[in-house]
Amino acid sequence: MGNTRLTDFRFFTACLDPAVPELAELAPLAEDGRMDEAKRLFAAYVRRTLDPERYLKGEKERLAPDAEKIAEASRRAMEHTFVSCRVPYTFGEVIDWTANPTYNNYCEWPWQLNRHPEWQSMAEEYLLTGDEAIPAEWSRQFMSWAVQAQVPENESGFATICWRTIETGLRMKRWTYAIHAFLYAIDDEVLTVFCKSVWEHGWRLRNFCTSHNWLIMEMAGLCQIALFFPFFRESAEWLAYVHRRLESEIGAQVYPDGMQYELTPGYHQVCVGNYEDVVDLIRLHGDEVPDYLLKGLERMFSVYPKIAAPDFRTPAVNDSGRENAARILKEALLYLPDRSEFRYFASDRAEGEPPAYKSILLDYSGMVIFRSSWECDALWAYMDASPFGKAHQHEDKLSVQLWAYGHELMPEAGTFDYDTSEMRRYVLSTRGHNTARIDGFDQNRREGYRWLPEDIAKKADVRFDIGESRETVEASYDEGYGPDKLRVRHTRKLIFLKDEPGLPSMFVSVDRFEAGEAHDCQLIWHMHDNPTVLDGRAVHNTFPDGVGLTVASSSGGMELARGVRSPEFQGWLPKFGIGDVEHYPVPTVLNTFRFDKSRRVVTVLCPYREGKPPVRSVEASPDIDSDAFRVTLSDGNAVTVRE
């Protein structure tokens, strides 16, 4: 018998809606000690109330193309093999829902185990095959979880292994799917314990919810409970609470330019996806979708066309991989079918119209995009002029990423597992990005940083200009380097020379450093793992098809680092699609110099084709008041440009 913290007696006498006539006799039965009869009547009512035919309509057809993969995932789960954080583990007869079999005791493994993705796979396989062994095994697994995972009485939403509120909210979608699939194949006891545990989920989400993207996931989970289990006494209040919180969080978490305040495309998408789930749930139940939900989604969806690279993926910013903007905007059409630019992305440029803008500044979140066109071979650059953000931050202000001619030319170190490894330190640090370090120290905004609610309405401190032949962005970092917060002001002006006479299209980074004393400085530029040539103060990195990038500096020494581990990590990139833990070495340009109180350095970032780098070198005065630089081309011609 399963035994949740919530007793049968309290559930039947205090947790069900007394206004539902079919449930009115349950409390007297419980008070008389006739629990088996109460459970039988309650289970019969739940089977009449839930509607698998409507909820699971079309699921067999949707699942059929993935039948083989689903069958394998279900087989593993049936044999007690669970995969969390890419690490598989096979339990014996008894599953320990608090276990952590990872070599480094990685905290995320048991947390993500308790999101129960395997139960979704088992439910899907049952829908496809009707194998009655599956709901029988699911019942055993669920009851073992219910007994082991007692809901905490008074712990914060961030506490415990099985009941952190992020897991509490996330698993409700999988639980709801599973109970609809297994509804007629499980016994009254399991169904009653399931509903008791769902009530406990609602109670915990209502009373111990947190903030950030977690809160959006928590409210989506609470919405699942309130709509699918309206017979709980608190369901109507829980649903009203969901709407109050979700509406207020659009104002609290989303900048006026549409970006969520963690400034991380992946977690922006977490919020978007959970708002979508709420809209879908409301539509499924035949209710009217509140206007704030569709307007909020439209605002958040609008970010993707603005920041997407030519391959229609977002830049990897902070703790985020590269989100698929085309897929996301295809989903957006389900809510906003008249947005032509969304259709342009969703159809891979075959339908709709591209946005009217090309280059753009997100003037609150500080994200800057240069773009030559909407074609897949466009020149594209991203510069981070953002505030620090609310969470998942990297020390990367003024960092630059580049695309041209169908290739990502200048990436960043990406993200990594949330552990204490050297690789995790690397991706968080300035040295994992394309900006500057001072005296071997990283930027240090994290120490002493404090987010204020009014910050959501503040514009970023950035200057942005679009002209006929060039586009310019300028921003500064002056919040300290290293543990002692060394006071150096770094101002970066990134110029997109679209049509400068005598020059190919290129980007130019003009970096100015100001301090009260002398410092060593290192400008860092990550490249891809291609043949790389160092020629004086110029580096040429060329893909097999001849597309490449030249990085040429006006001063300092140039060297290449690749896959360095000691004394600190340098020159690594993630393998997207394989997993955060997989990285590989790449050549990384380290441009090192010393300055006495101030210095100006000009770096040309010039894409090329056919394996022919057009730029040989760049020269510029180190005086920060100078505004000219001279680019020498491979044919010997030189062109002087003013900022």
Gap between the Cα atoms of 41 and 487, Å rounded: 71
322-346 tens-digit pLDDT = 999 999 999 999 999 999 999 999 9
Joined tokens for residue 606: 């010039």
From residue 481, alpha-carbon distances to 397, 410, 412, 435, 445 in Å are 12, 24, 20, 13, 8
Q: Which residue has the tokens 């206007």?
A: 291
d(CA 242, CA 219): 5
Residues 192-220 have a mean pLDDT of 98
Cα–Cα distance for residue pair 314/304, rounded to 1 Å: 7
Whether residue 339 is contained in a domain is answered as no
**Side-chain-side CA neighbours of residue 384 (13 Å):** 27
In the block, tokens 């928590």 appear at: 218
User: What is the amino acid identity at position 196?
Assistant: K
Q: Are 606 and 615 in contact (CB under 8 A)?
A: yes
Give the Cβ contact number of residue 272 at 10 Å. 23
Say yes or no to pLDDT of 19 above 80: yes
579 has pLDDT over 70? no
Q: Are 322 and 308 in contact (CB under 8 A)?
A: no
* Domain assignment of residue 560, yes or no: yes
Q: Would you say residue 1 has pLDDT above 60?
A: no
* Burial tier of 22 (Cβ tally within 10 Å: 0-12, 13-18, 19+): middle
Spatial CB neighbours of 149, under 8 Å, sequence gap ≥ 6:
97, 114, 162, 163
Residue 505 is encoded by which pair of tokens? 């299209």
In the block, tokens 């014996």 appear at 92
Residue 235 belongs to a domain: no
Cβ atoms of 246 and 216 within 8 Å: the answer is yes
Distance of CA 529 to the CA centre of its chain: 25
Tell me whether residue 419 is in a domain. yes
Around 216, how many Cα atoms within 13 Å sit in the side-chain half-sphere?
A: 29
The reply to whether omega before 567 is within 30° of 0 (cis) is yes
Q: pTM for the complete prediction?
A: 0.95
Over residues 342-400, the pLDDT tens digits come to: 999 999 999 999 999 999 999 999 999 999 999 999 999 999 999 999 999 999 999 99
Sign of CA dihedral 576, 577, 578, 580: positive
Q: pLDDT tens for residues 612-627?
A: 999 999 999 999 999 9
Pinpoint the alpha helices (H) of 183-290: 188-207, 212-228, 235-253, 265-284
Cβ atoms 144, 80 nearer than 8 A: no
Angstrom distance (rounded) from CA 278 to CA 225:
11
Q: Say yes or no to pLDDT of 127 above 60.
A: yes
Interatomic CA distance for residues 312 and 326, integer angstroms: 6
Q: Is the pLDDT of residue 578 over 70?
A: no
Q: How far apart are CA 404 and CA 606, in angstroms?
A: 9
- Return the CATH number at 451: 2.70.98.70
Structural tokens at position 370: 């240069």
The string of pLDDT tens digits covering residues 284-309 is: 999 999 999 999 999 999 999 999 99
φ, ψ of residue 382 in degrees (nearest 5): -120, 135
**Cα pseudo-dihedral 69, 70, 75, 79, rounded to 10:** 110
Count of alpha carbons within 13 angstroms of residue 485, beta-carbon side: 7
- Which amino acid appears at position 169 of this protein? G
The backbone torsions φ and ψ at residue 631, rounded to the nearest 5 degrees and listed phi first, read: -105, 125
Structural domain contains residue 351? no
Q: What confidence tier does 3 reach under pLDDT thresholds 50, 70, 90?
A: confident
In a domain, 230, yes or no: no
- In this structure, the number of other CB atoms found within 10 A of the CB of residue 611 comes to 14
Q: What is the pLDDT of residue 576?
A: 55
What gap in Å lies between CA 12 and CA 8, rounded to an integer? 6
Could you tell me where the beta strands, DSSP code E, fall in 295-377?
360-362, 367-371
Q: How far apart are CA 57 and CA 47, in angstroms?
A: 17
Q: Measuring CA to CA, which residue among 591, 595, 592, 573 is closest to residue 583?
A: 573
In our burial notation (b when 16+ CB lie closer than 10 A, e otherwise), range 314-326 reads: bbbbbbbbbbbbb
Question: Is a pLDDT exceeding 50 seen at residue 141?
Answer: yes
Q: Which domain holds residue 371?
A: 362-610
**Per-residue pLDDT reduced to its tens digit, 257-275:** 999 999 999 999 999 999 9
The per-residue pLDDT of the chain, averaged, comes to 96
CA separation (Å) from 381 to 36, 317, 400, 509?
Answer: 66, 13, 7, 11
Question: What is the per-residue pLDDT for 612?
Answer: 95
State which amino acid sits at residue 473.
Answer: V
Q: What integer is the mean pLDDT of 109-135? A: 98
Distance (Å, whole) CA 382 – CA 386? 11
β-pair type (488-497, 572-574): unpaired
Reported as a pLDDT band with limits 50, 70 and 90, residue 98 is very high
Within 10 A of 287 (CB to CB), how many other CB atoms are there? 11
**CA 68, CA 80: separation in Å to the nearest integer?**
19
CB atoms within 10 A of CB 542: 22
Structural domain contains residue 271: no
Share of the chain above pLDDT 70, in %: 99
Cα–Cα dist 557/518, whole Å? 17
d(CA 453, CA 445): 18
In tens, the pLDDT along 396-416 reads: 999 999 999 999 999 999 899
The pLDDT value given to residue 110: 97
Q: Is 90 inside a domain boundary?
A: no
Label residue 2 by pLDDT band (50, 70, 90).
low
Contacts of 500 (CB under 8 A, 6+ apart): 469, 470, 639, 641
Percentage of the chain lying above the pLDDT 90 cut: 96
Number of domains, the chain: 1
